[in-house]
Amino acid sequence: MRAEMLSIGTELLLGQIVDTNASYIAQRLAEAGIPLYFKDTVGDNPARLAQTLRLALSRADLLICTGGMGPTEDDITSAGVAEAFGVPLELREEAKATLEAFFLARGRPMTPNQFKQAMYPVGATLIPNPTGTAQGFILERDGKTAIVLPGPPNEVYPMWRETVAEYLRTRSGMTIVSRTLRFCGIGEGALEEELKAIIHAQDNPTVAPYAKLAEVHIRVTARAADEAEAWRLIDPVVARIRERAGQYLYGVDEETLEEVVGRLLRARGLTLAVAESCTGGLLGGRLTNIPGSSDYFLGGIISYSNAVKEAVLGVPAATLAAHGAVSAETAGAMAEGARRVTGADIGVSVTGVAGPGGGTAEKPVGLAYLGLAVADRPTQAVRLTFWGDRPTIRARCVQEALVRLRTLLLEPTHE
């Protein structure tokens, strides 16, 4: 079974809304083991919808349509699908009753055009809509299937969960399983070079790299009769990738870097505090993305001004005068200050020139220092140079701080 997705609505082609249904449905199809090769967007135009439906039926067995199911003139999806499948529309009494009950419950008058929403292709199975007026439908004919849903995501998601998912599970005998391997400290090009032989040798599972901000994901995806068989295909490939590039692998599937750092802190019973200058709180913001981060993250100081660096973090005025706010010395003192002020086991600091202004020949935009202060060992400060605009430089500072924290927490303990 091969799927094609159609999003129907002029508002999409005018850019008035973002098509979040597309990624939701694409994910569900992947999980259901149904390949999706094309996704089309078309406006509220009967001729162009007909053309797109014809094309989709010529190259797929399963059409998933969203949008254009409302009561107005430009809602053309049900009629278009009926025509493409060669069946007429009919009034469905049960849908009409549901509509009437909906309007009655809200004390709103039901305008005549609303009955349009009770017209369905002959032979269609209705899909209940727990959060809106337009029920969807499933239509099967001559080996082709259409699943037709309204446009609003808050209607699509429950309709999918409650009706479509089960229908597809029954229909498809196939499972797709994916494992995402998450790497940091290596670029996409370099990682792909490292894994070239593995990527090329594979057809099932497929191995595909995705570049993210300051990290790279490798997705290994297998198609098989059942989940156990899919894992039998995936596991040895994952093992080979770990062999080649395991030192850069920080997490698996949905695991984020801040989650991994949090898990390591919790496992070692350590607490963390931050001292942030150029990142202004973004590192604390990342760390507290994780529910339950209060178990190990105590907080910290946003020392954006030098006065706060001195007065709150205790960075010596002489250090700031001699080396400046963006220096290894200041970064180290900030990290130590974060520990001292909060009582945390580990203090991490960031200070840098985020730009676009404020750069000098000696301290250009993109220069940053990270400080790491830990009990009973010398404080470290590392010099880094980043590239990009202000948001990118700041996000890379945060990412690199997390990478360094992870490295620190993976070191063998000497206790």
Instruction: Give yes or no for a contact between 191 and 219, defined as CB atoms under 8 angstroms apart.
Output: no
Beta strands per DSSP E along 19-66: 36-42, 62-66
Q: Which of 306, 305, 302 is nearest to 318 (CA)?
A: 306
Shortest separation between residue 412's beta carbon and a copy of itself, angstroms: 28
Binding to a copy of itself (CB under 8 A) within 91-130 occurs at 102, 105-114, 130
Shortest separation between residue 269's beta carbon and a copy of itself, angstroms: 15
Distance CA 247, CA 173 (A): 38
Query: Is 87 near a copy of itself (CB under 8 A)?
Result: no
Question: Judged by CB, which is closer to a copy of itself: 139, or 273?
Answer: 273
Among 245, 287, 368, 374, binds a copy of itself (CB under 8 A): 287
Binding to a copy of itself (CB under 8 A) within 65-84 occurs at 70-74
Longest distance between any two alpha carbons in the chain, whole Å = 85
Query: Is 342 near a copy of itself (CB under 8 A)?
Result: yes
Instruction: Give yes or no for a contact between 265 and 409, defined as CB atoms under 8 angstroms apart.
Output: yes
- Residue 303: Cβ within 10 Å count: 26
Residue at 1: amino acid letter: M
Among 36, 63, 159, 397, binds a copy of itself (CB under 8 A): 36
Among 78, 145, 303, 330, binds a copy of itself (CB under 8 A): 303
From 89-97, 209-217, 248-256, 328-336, give the range in contact with a copy of itself by CB under 8 A.
209-217
Binding to a copy of itself (CB under 8 A) within 214-233 occurs at 219, 221
The string of DSSP letters for 116-176 reads GGGEEETTPEEE--TTSS--EEEEEETTEEEEEE-S-HHHHHHHIIIIIHHHHHHH---EE
Total residues contacting a copy of itself by CB under 8 A comes to 116
Binding to a copy of itself (CB under 8 A) within 129-148 occurs at 130-131
Query: Is 153 near a copy of itself (CB under 8 A)?
Result: no
Distance CA 170, CA 155 (A): 22
From 26-34, 76-84, 241-249, 329-337, give the range in contact with a copy of itself by CB under 8 A.
26-34
**Phi and psi at residue 47, to the nearest 5°:** -65, -45
Among 357, 362, 378, 412, binds a copy of itself (CB under 8 A): 357
Among 50, 87, 244, 280, binds a copy of itself (CB under 8 A): 280
3 state DSSP class of 177: strand
- Residue 377: Cβ within 10 Å count: 10
